[in-house]
């Protein structure tokens, strides 16, 4: 269940016709991989009209910027997040982004979105599609990787009895549980044979230890790439903080 203050933020975004998609912890909750969070993380369409709609929603929420950078299109286009505190929603923090490393542009994300009803009350929210949410979670932060594991496990346990080919391909591409990856590769050897993921190759051989090693290498490489991507952005944020002081 989405807490009322967070639902108020999402309702304001929808009421003001903001083109945005929920991501982060609240999106994980919606996919059955519970993660407590008082934040609302969204990715938005980087369009001047859409930013105008967002400003209207922010005004209604009594939102104030709580950190650098300022709310400007150029910062969002470069990959920065803009952070707000919403006074009219019990101080919920709203983090807005327009670009995510390794994730498709917003227009593609919008076409692949998941639309969910909120708590059976007829209100709906637009959420990053599960494969895109998993990609967005692949960061340098250690805490994000157990959540990726839980997200893909939840998908597998929900759909394993009658899966589509797309689901099998997703599980082979993203499962981070060695025993389950071995299970999927064994059940669907033809699909597994088409994968270039080293962990899948080990899974096809029934080598759980090899799967674990391959997953560790995979995570390390992705975390390194994320650090490289964020390095110039972090440097810019530090410069902005110094200037603000």
pLDDT over 60 (residue 216): yes
- Cα distance between residue 20 and residue 27, in whole Å: 13
Please give the pLDDT value at position 65: 97
pLDDT in tens, 186-200: 999 999 999 999 999
The segment(s) of the chain belonging to CATH 3.30.460.40 are 4-132
**Strand order through the sheet with 124-127:** 63-65, 81-86, 92-97, 39-44, 20-23, 124-127, 114-117
pLDDT over 60 (residue 1): no
pLDDT in tens, 34-84: 666 778 999 999 999 999 999 999 999 999 999 999 999 999 999 999 999
Residue 78 sits at the vertex; the CA angle it makes with 227 and 39, to the nearest 5 degrees, is: 75
Q: Report the top-level CATH class of 4-132.
A: alpha beta
Single pTM value for the model: 0.94
pLDDT in tens, 78-109: 999 999 999 999 999 999 999 999 999 999 99
């Amino acid at each position: 269940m989405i807490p009322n203050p967070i639902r108020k933020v999402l309702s304001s975004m929808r009421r003001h016709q903001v083109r945005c998609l929920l991501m982060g912890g609240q999106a994980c909750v919606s996919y059955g991989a519970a993660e407590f969070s008082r934040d609302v993380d969204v990715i938005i369409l980087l369009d001047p009209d859409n930013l105008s709609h967002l400003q209207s929603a922010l005004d209604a929420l009594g939102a104030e910027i709580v950190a650098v950078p300022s709310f400007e299109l150029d910062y969002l286009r470069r990959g920065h997040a803009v952070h707000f505190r919403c006074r009219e929603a019990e101080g919920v923090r709203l983090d807005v982004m327009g670009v995510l490393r390794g994730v498709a542009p917003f227009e593609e994300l919008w076409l692949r979105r998941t639309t969910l009803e909120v708590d059976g009350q007829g209100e709906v929210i637009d959420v990053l599609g599960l494969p895109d949410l998993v990609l967005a979670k692949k960061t340098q932060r250690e805490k994000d990787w157990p959540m990726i594991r839980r997200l893909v496990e939840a998908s597998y346990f929900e759909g394993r009895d009658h899966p589509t080919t797309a689901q099998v391909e997703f599980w082979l591409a993203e499962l981070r549980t060695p025993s389950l990856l071995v299970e999927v590769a064994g059940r669907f050897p033809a699909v597994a044979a088409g994968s270039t993921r080293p962990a899948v190759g080990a899974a096809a051989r029934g080598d759980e230890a090899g799967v674990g090693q391959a997953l560790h290498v995979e995570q390390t490489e992705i975390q390194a790439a994320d650090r490289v991507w964020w390095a110039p952005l972090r440097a810019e944020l530090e410069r902005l903080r110094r200037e603000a002081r």
